[in-house]
Amino acid sequence: MKELPTISQFQVFKNRKTILKNPLPFHRANFEKYGDIFKVEVGFRKTIIFTRDATIIRHILQKQHKKYQKSELQTVDLAKYIGHGILTSNGEHWRIHRRMVQPAFHKKKLQGLLGIMKQAIDSELKRIEPGTTQDVFPLMGDLAFQVVAKALFSRFDIQKNMEQLQDFTERNQKMLIREMRQPYLKWWFKASGKIKKHLDLAEQGRNILNTIIEERLASGEEKDDLLDMLLNATYEDGTHMPRHQLIDEVLILFTAGHETTANALSFTLFLLAKHPTIQNKVLKEVEKIDLEVDELMQGLSQLTYTKQCIEEALRLYPPAYVIDRKAIADDVVQGQNFPKDSLVLMSIYELHRSSAFWDSPEEFNPDRFDIALKRDYSSHYYPFGAGPRMCVGNNFAMYEMIIAIAQIIKKYQISTNLKTIEVNPMISLKPTEVPVFFEPR
């Protein structure tokens, strides 16, 4: 630990405004200066190890994952706003509930949700005004929001409640980012009542979900949606989740499920708008598939190049741009000591743009994911995380994105005057705005 290059707390404080707005340039500058691993002092006797070393990242996420768990950044700081579900828990609690949630996302189960998914996407895409330029980020946000809400609840009459829940979660996310990037102000956030204010918003959100669950139970209806799957899930002794745990899992599925997909869709549309030749290859593929008539799962499996474009967008703009872990036992990786309680932030954003693993890493090139090339990216490509804690909804998200991109490109030629996209790293990596011109085909 002592041999690692160190960024002092003074340097962090000096760059506080830049870090608060967007920490990625600060990360990049220090990686370029110090190499693939360094540590940052963030408080009295408290340091964070930053790494983009592929071997270390694979070791922590996959090979020796039992020696690491999610840090307090998620299990305490994030959990106080969205509960202790599979995203924000560790140990036996996580294992039990992951086992209960995972069956809802098996491919056979998802096949039954594809119709709901496509219906919600088609409905939202009607909001595109042909012949105009629109910011697709809020459009994709609403689209992903509707997909998750309808897949979860099978209801079309809770728009206002869902908008409130979305507002609460976004406001709490902004507060959490301030807490994480300005740890020296945590005492003020607490003393001033800011944290309490946001905890009250979180409670209001939980009340919204509780009302929806109560209404479902009172109706006695079986919808075979995600909520039904969670309501029917049982522990080994045959009992069901207590209400507070059910709300935690629903809230996490809702929050993570729509936000990361909206971000990825927005980045993908920007990249396709900037690369008309690649966009035309997508068009030739999607014109051969009729998602209105063909069996949806079969049709999606044939949109391989469309999927490659999404995979490449996820490489350049991974939603989980950093992944945190805390060592629960002493460990040694690459000759580097990781003592128990070490906090490690792994930069997936930097790893995905490393010239050590990617030819022309800043270039948008979907061909690198052509399965015919049989390239193995498993050691340095983590758009949905890796290991046992890999995102449970990765297939759900991919199907949703393929449908949305296919339906848009089939109807519109898209372009943009935006030269570069400005990113906004919150809990996940967001774009600030993505103006796209929609010309009807």
Q: pLDDT tens-digit profile of 275-313?
A: 999 999 999 999 999 887 668 889 999 999 999 999 999
CATH class of the domain at 52-440:
mainly alpha
Torsion of CA 282, 287, 293, 295, to 10 degrees: -40
What pLDDT is attached to residue 351?
A: 97
Q: pLDDT tens-digit profile of 404-422?
A: 999 999 999 999 999 999 9
Q: What is the pTM of this model?
A: 0.91
Q: pLDDT tens-digit profile of 226-247?
A: 888 899 999 999 999 999 999 9
Structure tokens at 139: 């459009």
What pLDDT is attached to residue 148?
A: 87
Band (156; pLDDT cuts 50, 70, 90)? low
Q: Select the more confidently predicted residue: 314 or 375.
A: 314
How many residues does the structure list for the chain?
A: 441
Q: pLDDT tens-digit profile of 326-352?
A: 999 999 988 888 989 999 999 999 999
What pLDDT is attached to residue 187?
A: 85
Distance CA 294, CA 301 (A): 11
What pLDDT is attached to residue 354?
A: 95
What pLDDT is attached to residue 293?
A: 66
- In 3D space, the residue among 274, 241, 281, 206 whose CA is nearest the CA of residue 416 turns out to be 274
